[in-house]
Amino acid sequence: MKHNELVQKANEEVQKQHNTVMSDDYRLHYHLMPPVGLINDPNGFIQWKGTYHLFYQWMPFKTGHGAKFWGHYTSPDLVNWTHEQIALTPSDWYDKNGCYSGSAISTKDELMLFYTGNVKDAEGNRETYQCLATSKDGLNFEKKGPVLELPEGYTAHFRDPKVWKKDDVYYMIIGAQSVDIKGHAALFQSSDLLNWELLGNIAGSTDENNMGYMWECPDLFELDGQDVLLFSPQGIDAQGMLYNNVYQCGYYIGKLDYESAKLSHGEFYELDRGFEFYAPQTTLDENGRRIVVGWMGVPDQNEDKHPTIAHKWIHCLTIPRVLHVRDGKLIQTPVVELEQMRGNEVSFGNVALVNELKELEGVSGEVLELKVEVEKLSGHFEMLIRDHARIVYNQTEGIFTLERHSFADGKTESRSCKLNELHSLRIYLDTSSIEIFVNDGEEVFTARIYPYKNCRKIAFGSKNEAVVSVTKWDLR
Ligand code: FRU
């Protein structure tokens, strides 16, 4: 179908389902969502001429995956977002089964999008093309077609180009599967953004160290003097508290040798320890901050069980977070601009919790930010969130846990990580999401939650003794 027809069809679907979508109590207040249908990866995240652009993988016609569009949001401040016209539709031979994930880069006067053209034939055989689209106004994009075809040595699971510039050379990193079915990050270089030369796999899964059969959405950037490779590997088995989601998302920190195209790196760490987090993308903004946004979802992980499906939409993106390297790991903190959303501050200093669960007057709600400083702790601390989720810190074992009622079967399920000490929590709650920043972003837990409407209760407790200070803000 032609671009204009697809745009019209998608816009009609938005109109048609508007009331159904908007009548959902689980619609979020400050997270980016699809107007209808399914959202997955954040794409093309960039600040261009002062404005933040954040595109997203969008399936307008159903709450499942398929031939993706690029939806488009813009913002002056990462808080107030405008939903713009559709940026890309799967309208051409080289992207007819989806304008898959990719990134943005700006040149003097153009905004350029690099994305994967996904093509499938009648038998389901896949082809992949790395494509370019350009814009002079940041709103209307002109497709230029494929700039890179599948090199030898890889299967057609080869996608999600992330492009950057270093020392006057352009680089592109692509998520790839080698013909022996291992995940890799493949590096390319170019002087003109049109002709790309393969340098090699900078990192990948090996026989000795299984890191999965496919790596999606790689992102490579310099941060605090190190090189960071962020990627979403598929095919890693759970190991105790690690890798409990269906697919993983994490990073290597190290040094990239551009000559040999090798990343020497340390261990793989998960970027987020919650239930729903995948395919994040970063950008370097005009203030020099490395900001990350993730998809609050995981492919194939009970996607068909989210209750929002009854209202014809599914999934959302995370809040934007600033990244830093601290002690060999990435730490994440919400961008400071989000403080603009704060209102109705209520705070309590030195609340003693002795073998009890306590509610604090005015510390309740559905859409809020909580700051909890742990002043004193012996043994155990917990929080109950809207009778649906529970945060538990077991100090004796050094384990931090997020529990929730599963939206798939109602049973309690959990995600945990090792944590030597608990100093502080910063929690962002929205109508159907939670993002927990532990110890100033040392660990982050992101999840969708579906509590009963009107259940506003938040409680703090300890099975032994704890003293905490709590501040709550309602978020508009
Ligand atoms: C990750 C992903 C990407 C792909 C896109 C398709 O969630 O599978 O690899 O480009 O989603 O929507």
What span, in angstroms and rounded, lies between the C-alpha atoms of 308 and 313? 6
CB 428 near ligand 1, within 6 Å: no
Q: What is the longest distance spanned by two Cα atoms in the chain?
A: 66
Residue 7's pLDDT is 98
* Phi then psi dihedrals of residue 185, to 5 deg: -115, 115
pLDDT in tens, 229-265: 999 999 999 999 999 999 999 999 999 999 999 999 9
Using CA atoms of 405, 411, 417, 420 in order, give the dihedral in degrees to the nearest 10: 80
pLDDT in tens, 47-57: 999 999 999 99
Residue with the two structure tokens 């808080």: 79
Pair of tokens at residue 473: 């803000």
Q: DSSP alpha helices (H): ranges in 247-292?
A: none
Tell me the average pLDDT across 345-369.
97
What span, in angstroms and rounded, lies between the C-alpha atoms of 117 and 276? 26
Question: Would you tell me how many other CB atoms lie within 10 Å of the CB of residue 148?
Answer: 23
Do residues 167 and 48 both lie within one domain? yes
> 274 by DSSP, 3-state: which?
coil
Residue 108's pLDDT is 84
Predicted confidence band at 1 (pLDDT cuts at 50, 70, 90)?
confident
Residue closest to 42 by CA, chosen among 245, 235, 316: 316
Pair of tokens at residue 282: 């970063």
pLDDT in tens, 118-128: 999 999 899 99
Per residue in 159-174, is it b (16+ CB within 10 Å) or e — as a string? bbbbbbeeeeebbbbb
pTM as predicted = 0.98
Contact criterion met (CB below 8 Å) for 185 and 231: yes
Q: Which of 40, 69, 103, 246 to mutate to test the pocket of ligand 1 (most atoms within 8 A of CB)?
A: 40
Contact criterion met (CB below 8 Å) for 45 and 26: no
CB 101 near ligand 1, within 6 Å: yes
Do residues 156 and 113 both lie within one domain? yes
Do residues 81 and 22 both lie within one domain? yes
Whether 167 is catalytic is: no
Do residues 324 and 380 both lie within one domain? no
In the reported structure, the alpha carbon of residue 184 is separated from the centroid of ligand 1 by a whole-number distance in angstroms of: 15
Do residues 444 and 306 both lie within one domain? no
Tell me the average pLDDT across 11-27.
98
Question: Looking at 306, 334, 362, which one is the last position of a domain?
Answer: 334
Residues recorded for the chain: 476
Do residues 370 and 457 both lie within one domain? yes
Do residues 195 and 132 both lie within one domain? yes
Question: Which domain CATH number covers 364?
Answer: 2.60.120.560
CA atoms within 13 A on the CB side of 385: 28
Per the structure, the complete domain to which residue 224 belongs is given by: 2-334
pLDDT in tens, 407-426: 999 999 999 999 999 999 99
Do residues 322 and 468 both lie within one domain? no
Do residues 289 and 417 both lie within one domain? no
CB 100 near ligand 1, within 6 Å: yes
- For the chain, the average pLDDT equals 98
Question: Which domain CATH number covers 281?
Answer: 2.115.10.20
Give the total number of structural domains in the chain: 2
Do residues 374 and 348 both lie within one domain? yes
Question: Looking at 334, 361, 387, which one is the last position of a domain?
Answer: 334
Do residues 89 and 157 both lie within one domain? yes
Question: Looking at 334, 368, 387, which one is the last position of a domain?
Answer: 334
Do residues 210 and 74 both lie within one domain? yes
